Amino acid sequence: MGMIHESRAMPEIDQRQQLSRQGVILTTVEDLYNWGRKNSIWPLQFGLACCAIEMIAASMARFDIARFGAEVFRPSPRQADLMIVAGTVTKKMAPQVVRLYNQMPEPKYVIAMGACAISGGPFRQGYNVVNGIDRYLPVDVHIAGCPPRPEALLEGLMALQQKIAAQRLTGAGRPRHLDGAQSGEFPAPRLEEHDLAPIANPQIWRPTAVKE
């Protein structure tokens, strides 16, 4: 708990640096900041297919996503923190998915819920199916299942909360909203005559070669 971060961007660093020599204050600020963020993640109301029904079930009384502060599903991307891509992303829908992500303000996260959002799932061989939303958007948590049970969605949400809690606010790995250099917008693919173009965003999608 005694990590000291050099932060040249913030004006109040002098006092912080003095206090942070104790190794306590800066991490407490981070913890408090992240605690507020992770316990009030507002998802975007964005169900594509069957996984959306389990997402709705997770927000209902039995599984109760409200315990995690995330029951406020926002219809507008401008007010949402989390996009749960629940369902198959088809080529026709892919440009809209990326546009919606671009409209979300920082900090924003993506959960790929279900096999279809991760890799195309059972519909992988379809001519209108995008094999995974991580070809176009940076995904923070992948939840496997077809569909994943509501408890699995809650576990994925908890994994995201741990990820947020572990985010350092200063330094190289800081989130995009504290780093002016990084852009949170990604290019939307275009629908062309035979296919979606490009079929994957090379900045995000780097398939690993399978070793024979």
Chain contacts with another protein (rule: CB under 8 A): 45-50, 52-54, 56-57, 60-62, 75, 87-88, 90-93, 95-96, 99-100, 120, 122-123, 125-131, 146-147, 149, 191-195, 199-200, 202, 205-209
Residues 161-194: b if buried by 16+ CB within 10 A, e if exposed: beebeebbbbeeebbeebbeeeebebebbeeeee
CB of 102 to another protein, least distance (A): 13
**Least distance to another protein, CB of residue 65, Å:** 12
**DSSP output for 40-61:** T--EE--B-SHHHHHHHHHTST
Give which of 51, 102, 110 is closest to 78, Cα–Cα. 102
CB of 125 to another protein, least distance (A): 6
CB of 45 to another protein, least distance (A): 5
Q: Which is nearer to another protein, 11 or 202 (CB)?
A: 202
Q: How far is CA 111 from the centre of its chain?
A: 5
Q: Indicate the residue among 97 and 141 with the shorter CB distance to another protein.
A: 97
